Structure 1
């Protein structure tokens, strides 16, 4: 795990990848938090955080006494998450969004704004720092 990505995120991504590829299927049981943590040399809280995020994303279900299993419909959710991650890392993007942003970016550059400043402004809008809701879901 010599990677700048936080360990909980590495665990989360690996499970998403295994679900998306079909290596893990709905109903498959995941190792107990303490077992997986021990196998990976991580703190149990790190694995618990990954499992919690996976549960929030509807990839796994955790039931007291039954453990953690791959959720029904998890493969579709895993593919959606993988597609989002691909876009965020520079993969395929929505052409409609590109067209939507093209004009304002050209205008900002015409005012002398540098790309780093434009990106900072977009991040501020997404974070709601402009007094609006940021347009998020």
Structure 2
């Protein structure tokens, strides 16, 4: 648990990766929340939060009395989750888009804009909030 990500997110991503890679397969059982937390040296609530997110993402299924298992469609769900995580972390880059943005980013920096301001502006444009403000 040495990542800057919250521990529950680390647990969630690790299980997603184990499903995606085939290390865990549909029907495989996961440890009970308390046992898993003890193994990882985390609070039970942290693992419970990760399991809840995994259930919402259709990676795992918890049934009273039967425990927690990898869901039947978990491999596809894990592949989608991994692709989303890759995009969110700046995953594969489209070289054409990089060259398209290189000039405007350089111009914005030359005007003194900080990267955080540039990113906020790009997000505003993507969200359709590119109002016609005068210069």
Under a length normalisation based on structure 1, what TM-score does the superposition of the two structures give?
Answer: 0.75
Runs of 4+ in 1 over 3 A off after TM superposition: 93-96, 112-115, 122-126
Query: In 2 relative to 1, CA 115–60 (structure 1 residues): closer, same or farther, beyond 3 Å?
Result: same
Return 113-122 or 7-16, whichever deviates more: 113-122
**Structure 1 residue 17: deviation in Å?**
0.6
Q: Aligned-residue CA RMSD in angstroms?
A: 3.0
**Structure 1 residue 3: deviation in Å?**
2.5
The aligned residue for residue 3 of structure 1 is 3
- Structure with the greater alpha carbon radius of gyration: 2
Query: In 2 relative to 1, CA 125–70 (structure 1 residues): closer, same or farther, beyond 3 Å?
Result: farther
Unaligned segments of structure 1, at least 5 residues: 131-137
1:60-117 superposed Cα distances (whole Å, 9 cap, x missing partner): 1111121111011111111111112222222214679x49xx58x839x56x455431
Residues 71-110 of structure 1 aligned to structure 2 (within 5 Å): 71-93=71-93, 98=97, 102=100, 106=104, 109=107
The aligned residue for residue 64 of structure 2 is 64
The aligned residue for residue 133 of structure 2 is none
Aligned length: 127
1:26-85 superposed Cα distances (whole Å, 9 cap, x missing partner): 011110001101111111000000000001111011111211110111111111111122
1:18 paired with 2:18, answer: yes
Unaligned segments of structure 2, at least 5 residues: 130-135
1: CA distance between counterparts of 2:3 and 2:76?
27
Query: In 2 relative to 1, CA 118–70 (structure 1 residues): closer, same or farther, beyond 3 Å?
Result: same
